[in-house]
Every structure is written in C-alpha cells, then in structure tokens.
Amino acid sequence: MNIEPILSRYLKSVFNYVFRIVGDKSETEDIVQEAFVKVWKNLKKFNPENNFKTWLFTIARNTAIDQLRKRKNISFSQIDSLTDGEDEKNFQGNVVDIEPLPDEIFMRKELNEELENALSKIRLDFREIIFLHYMEDLTFEEISGIVDKPLNTVKSHHLRALATLRKIITK
C-alpha cells in the first residue's frame, strides 16, 4: 500500500496538531513518524464507513499521549478529565489592495503572539479542542471521536476554553 497520498495530504496538519500537544519540534517529528507508521501498518483495518481524518488524528493523539506518559512531565488528569458592481471608469481608483500594510502586519503578528501566549496558558485538553476545531476545521462530533470524550463534554470544554482565553486576553 502506498502511503504517499496520505502523507502529502495530512502530514502538515498532523504535525501541527501533535506539536500543540507536545510542544517540542524534535519530539513531534518522532511522534508523527511513529503515528504514520502505525497508520500504514493498520490501513487494512480502517473501516471506510468511518471518517479517515478522525481515525488518523486519533492515532496521532494516542501516540503523542503515549510519548508524554513516558516522559511523565505533565498531569494526565488534564488530558483525561484543544467589491461588488463598480463603474468601469472608477474601477482603478476603487481597486482594493489586498496586501496588508506594514502596521496591519505588525498588529496581526502581535495578536497572533498574544493568542499563542494565551493558548499556552490553558489546559491541554481545552487547547487541543480549540486547535482541532479552528485550525483543522473539524466538527465537534469528529473531535469527540479523536479525544474519546462525549460530544457534550467536547462542546462544554470548547465553551470553557473560549471563556478562559477571553479572561487571559482581557487582563
């Protein structure tokens, strides 16, 4: 079986997800490699009636958690408990430059840093749900399958994560 299409499609997303859990680039690389080996070895066992991305992220998450347990640096109770219609004459004068201005670039960078800082301060399971929902565009149902928690728990953790982020950012 050829794993190249899977790698080309999902490698970056899985890497980013695992990095959010682990926080170390080198360790993330090892975990992602191990996760894709597991995917390759178990591809025949995958049930096509299920969502592949959910299955893949579940394997990646479990591999990362196994690695973290070996490291024993975090409490796993946290994990178990992330222009319309312009006149042609005026067209050139009304074309919007889509490139951000330097001050906009600076503001975005500053906001991104502030958000990253705030995300690093919330519980791992909250951070994980936020990442999967907003960065990977996964539904709460898919996230529920990945983190192996009931759908209502995932929704509740999502709301708590947003409230916690709001408190951190508005301080």
Look up the domain containing 165 and give its range.
Answer: 101-169
| Per-residue confidence (pLDDT) for residue 30, from 0 to 100 | 92
In a domain, 91, yes or no: no
- Residues in the chain predicted with pLDDT less than 50, given as ranges, are 74-96
Q: Verify that 55 and 107 share a domain, yes or no.
A: no
Total domains in the fold of the chain: 2
Q: Verify that 60 and 105 share a domain, yes or no.
A: no
What CATH number is attached to the domain comprising 122? 1.10.10.10
What CATH number is attached to the domain comprising 47? 1.10.1740.10
pTM for the whole thing? 0.58
| Per-residue confidence (pLDDT) for residue 101, from 0 to 100 | 61
How is 26-68 classified by DSSP, letter by letter?
HHHHHHHHHHHHHHHHHGGG--TTS-HHHHHHHHHHHHHHHHH
